[in-house]
Structure 1
């Protein structure tokens, strides 16, 4: 391949970056495999050979079989529907073709038509079902793929990013069919009003945290257009399910039906991107339920209610400036002009010293970040002129699942951001702001005290995660604008900041001094009265 061909390939990959199913960014892999590899179920081709997901590979067959029973469709119909989009979907993965491209992929998962025994049986291949070695790969697959399999497995054992196993077109089509219909069936069964009393439903319920975690990993995705295409066979709502997963970032849970969010005509490349879009968009008022308890709108192609097309995610109107002013001008390179000497070493306590208090936003969205003037409230006594500021951030509930979501949304932004404009790096900006506020465990405790940070992780775990993640992320536009707003505030109100800092740092000493003066005044007054009485 010469330079021109290499450049053409690179430009082609870059043009499709928003639609690609990316591998985890190399700079973030040091965070650990728990953010990269599935714990329970593999979706797509990248991790389907891991030993720990082989049990769910069999359970996915059961789910597809139950889907066929519920819908009355046979395996050929499902496979044919997946075949319509298989070639387009395969182009979005970085997987090599199998050597035996003319036949079936020996490492591919096989699922037949529904059988009478209650569980799908594998297609007959000579002696029947192949044994699997300790890495979950059949011996026939190893023989067909040769040393490539051994290289893949050896790479995984040494912590190197795991390259996918080669796949034939037929094998990819079957895998896509199984994984897509498994996801659709799982989403359908997660609906509280549509859970049949079955062993599979019990498995899904008892392992829902693991499954919810795995289906939002960056490397564990299938294209969203595949889901919407196959969803036409048996429509279900997809967007309300993603909105339900977004509640993992909230410190409180609701038993009410989660309403779908406004998608503004946005078509995501996969479920992870849809979750990110949900977390950066406001949630509308719940729609009036129909007789069946669901929203009155008809489902759109993505399984959510139909909405009037507004603007795409990449063409949204610019948001107001985080500091309350107009958006910054662009420099010659197309990025926002940064103010000189912007400090990036603020802490929660340091901001308090200069009169900037931390506050929780009204909505749990990553876009709800701003530096704004104080309003009448609890700080009126300390700041009667309302010269101080508030750093407003959304509350974050960090648990095992939500931390995985946060890391993988940031990883997707790293892979797809065209530049550091706000719409491309809002999650990165949010994490960078949190990392700016955290340097010690006491800083995390301070954020918990004002309810900006909650969750299952300890202060040390939260500090390690946010700081380790933040230093590898780009500085998003919102992050830079908020730092510039803080610097502008320091320049404009420098005299008030000096007075505030004096009282903030030495309030107890000043209060003690005046109390001592008052005590001495009382002593002198009493002494004076004694002298007066003595002379009388």
Structure 2
């Protein structure tokens, strides 16, 4: 379908014409209603498939054909015949289907297989282990993106802001409302966006509601990306984004608060948003306190993000460098390794914060004969970053059924690995303090030691990932190969103050004995 004739976008004549509380200007609001009807994606389904109704349709067809045989154009007669034949064929197929139960099972199995094949691109609901963490990690605070939280009453006030964002998004593009709306509708149809959401939720949402929802939500995200990229943005809209930045950052990274990326990308093509700059600015100081300069981001054209959360997670995680799997990692599911930060110190394994922003960049390396070093990216742990980490981990859990499959990459479980490694290191408040002294946990305005301990202990049910599995195998191997050296080092590490006192006393006695011996020699 070709888009409707383009109309030039014009600024309202005065402030009274544009009322944010009333939504879009009247001409644009009416256009949206028209488009929702014109481009509805709801498929036609016959109301019944009984044999009697088939016969009635056949009678109606014969009557219509006879009535138009002499008066109606030949093209119209052919079209009517073809339409009714298709309907009759569909109804007969439905009758056969309903009378053969095995076909029902086959259809369910086919649909289930198709859904599994779309696992990477779906908009998932939270798994129970994440949902139990509470509303802060799972429920939007200010804006609903997509259908899952669309009807929350406490988020309704931001719907007016979406209309304002749509107005300025259209204005920024220089295109007509029809062009922009048609771009969204085309993207929705191409990817069959309804199938990407849970079926039980979509059953109660018709396309007349779903399509405008996709349009307004995409406009809101695009205008926020424009603001975050440093591009010119309407002053009033900018103030709203700036005032609500923490809440918006929290909400747009929730697993259940997403729309398909191709829908957003359909509008980005008209607005010239520098996507690499947006990602870099969004990452700037997000998980780490120190950032010498805004990190540059090189977009990977081979990556197709499912949504905004997937896009930002991809560049936060990073790509591991020539990662090789440690022998024995396949048995990790049956090996119980629990080593706290203090226990690692007693074993001679030093913990070091790497100067990296990529969570996948972690590893254990040997240092000299007796020692080793565990290095990982530092973390500024506050409420916002805690929610970000939880939602990125939830995405990994939902999109990769087994982190140890041959086709699974190390990066597929990087966030789960990062969090599980911290969970392993933290058993007491003393462990949290030790990680702070090592620079792993940063920030004075973040979670307290008690809150951080509670956060990590609540995540111990996360599925083991390959990066963390590699490190756990290496730690276990280190412990098995050096039992006596570890015991000696642990004794010295835990009693070094007492040892120093004893050595000091021995030194004093040695000095006294040396002096006495000198006096005897003088006599």
State the TM bucket, normalised to the shorter chain: 0.7 to 0.9
Which ranges in structure 1 are unaligned for 5 or more consecutive residues?
97-162, 283-316, 330-335, 375-384
Structure 2 counterpart of 1:363, from 349, 356, 369? 356
- For 1:499, the equivalent position in structure 2 comes to 488
Structure 2 counterpart of 1:236, from 273, 278, 299? 273
Residues in 1 aligned to 2:332 and 2:255: alpha-carbon distance in whole angstroms: 34
Structure 1 counterpart of 2:134, from 22, 29, 32? 32
- For 1:14, the equivalent position in structure 2 comes to 116
Q: Which TM-score applies when normalising by structure 1?
A: 0.72
Residues in 2 aligned to 1:340 and 1:85: alpha-carbon distance in whole angstroms: 42
C-alpha deviation, 1:258, in angstroms: 4.8
List per-residue Cα deviations over 1:25-66 (Å, max 9, x = no partner): 122111111111110111111111112211111111011112
Residues in 2 aligned to 1:92 and 1:218: alpha-carbon distance in whole angstroms: 13
The 3 A distance-change label for structure 1 pair 339 and 253 is closer
Q: Tell me whether 1:70 sits opposite 2:172 in the alignment.
A: yes
C-alpha deviation, 1:459, in angstroms: 1.3
Q: Tell me whether 1:441 sits opposite 2:423 in the alignment.
A: no
Residues in 1 aligned to 2:456 and 2:282: alpha-carbon distance in whole angstroms: 21
Residues in 2 aligned to 1:95 and 1:75: alpha-carbon distance in whole angstroms: 30
C-alpha deviation, 1:210, in angstroms: 1.1
Residues in 2 aligned to 1:80 and 1:260: alpha-carbon distance in whole angstroms: 31
Normalized per residue, which structure has more helix? 2
The 3 A distance-change label for structure 1 pair 388 and 262 is farther
- For 2:186, the equivalent position in structure 1 comes to 84
- For 1:348, the equivalent position in structure 2 comes to 341
CA contact 1:217–1:408 (8 Å) conserved in 2: yes
- For 1:209, the equivalent position in structure 2 comes to 246
- For 2:154, the equivalent position in structure 1 comes to 52
Residues in 1 aligned to 2:393 and 2:246: alpha-carbon distance in whole angstroms: 21
Matches within 5 A, 1:423-462: 423-455=411-443, 456-462=446-452
CA contact 1:361–1:393 (8 Å) conserved in 2: yes
The 3 A distance-change label for structure 1 pair 529 and 393 is same
Q: Tell me whether 1:168 sits opposite 2:183 in the alignment.
A: no
List per-residue Cα deviations over 1:342-376 (Å, max 9, x = no partner): 442201110011110001123121111101012xx
Residues in 2 aligned to 1:51 and 1:240: alpha-carbon distance in whole angstroms: 34
List per-residue Cα deviations over 1:275-318 (Å, max 9, x = no partner): 11102226xxxxxxxxxxxxxxxxxxxxxxxxxxxxxxxxxx98
Q: How many residues align?
A: 411
Give 3-state SS (helix, strand or coil) of 1:368's partner: coil
Give 3-state SS (helix, strand or coil) of 2:494's partner: helix
Q: Tell me whether 1:220 sits opposite 2:257 in the alignment.
A: yes
CA contact 1:261–1:281 (8 Å) conserved in 2: no
Residues in 2 aligned to 1:392 and 1:220: alpha-carbon distance in whole angstroms: 33
Residues in 1 aligned to 2:478 and 2:245: alpha-carbon distance in whole angstroms: 47
Structure 2 counterpart of 1:200, from 237, 240, 244? 237
Q: Which TM-score applies when normalising by structure 2?
A: 0.74
CA contact 1:22–1:218 (8 Å) conserved in 2: yes
Give 3-state SS (helix, strand or coil) of 1:22's partner: coil
Residues in 2 aligned to 1:437 and 1:89: alpha-carbon distance in whole angstroms: 42
Residues in 2 aligned to 1:340 and 1:33: alpha-carbon distance in whole angstroms: 31
Q: Tell me whether 1:191 sits opposite 2:233 in the alignment.
A: no
The 3 A distance-change label for structure 1 pair 279 and 72 is closer
Give 3-state SS (helix, strand or coil) of 2:380's partner: strand
Residues in 1 aligned to 2:168 and 2:510: alpha-carbon distance in whole angstroms: 87
Give 3-state SS (helix, strand or coil) of 1:392's partner: strand
Structure 1 counterpart of 2:394, from 411, 417, 434? 411
Segment of structure 1 superposing worse, 399-408 or 505-514: 505-514
- For 2:145, the equivalent position in structure 1 comes to 43
Report the structure number with the largest CA radius of gyration: 2
The 3 A distance-change label for structure 1 pair 228 and 46 is same
Give 3-state SS (helix, strand or coil) of 1:40's partner: coil
C-alpha deviation, 1:232, in angstroms: 1.8
RMSD between aligned residues: 2.3
Which ranges in structure 2 are unaligned for 5 or more consecutive residues?
1-100, 405-409
- For 1:304, the equivalent position in structure 2 comes to none
Residues in 2 aligned to 1:519 and 1:64: alpha-carbon distance in whole angstroms: 82
Residues in 2 aligned to 1:387 and 1:461: alpha-carbon distance in whole angstroms: 35
C-alpha deviation, 1:185, in angstroms: 1.4
Give 3-state SS (helix, strand or coil) of 2:458's partner: helix
CA contact 1:20–1:269 (8 Å) conserved in 2: yes
CA contact 1:268–1:274 (8 Å) conserved in 2: yes
CA contact 1:348–1:437 (8 Å) conserved in 2: yes
Residues in 1 aligned to 2:299 and 2:185: alpha-carbon distance in whole angstroms: 31
Give 3-state SS (helix, strand or coil) of 1:420's partner: coil
Residues in 2 aligned to 1:37 and 1:240: alpha-carbon distance in whole angstroms: 28
Residues in 1 aligned to 2:396 and 2:374: alpha-carbon distance in whole angstroms: 24
List per-residue Cα deviations over 1:98-122 (Å, max 9, x = no partner): xxxxxxxxxxxxxxxxxxxxxxxxx
Segment of structure 1 superposing worse, 512-521 or 451-460: 512-521
- For 1:377, the equivalent position in structure 2 comes to none
CA contact 1:43–1:179 (8 Å) conserved in 2: yes
The 3 A distance-change label for structure 1 pair 361 and 459 is same
Q: Tell me whether 1:483 sits opposite 2:472 in the alignment.
A: yes
The 3 A distance-change label for structure 1 pair 71 and 262 is closer
- For 1:279, the equivalent position in structure 2 comes to 316
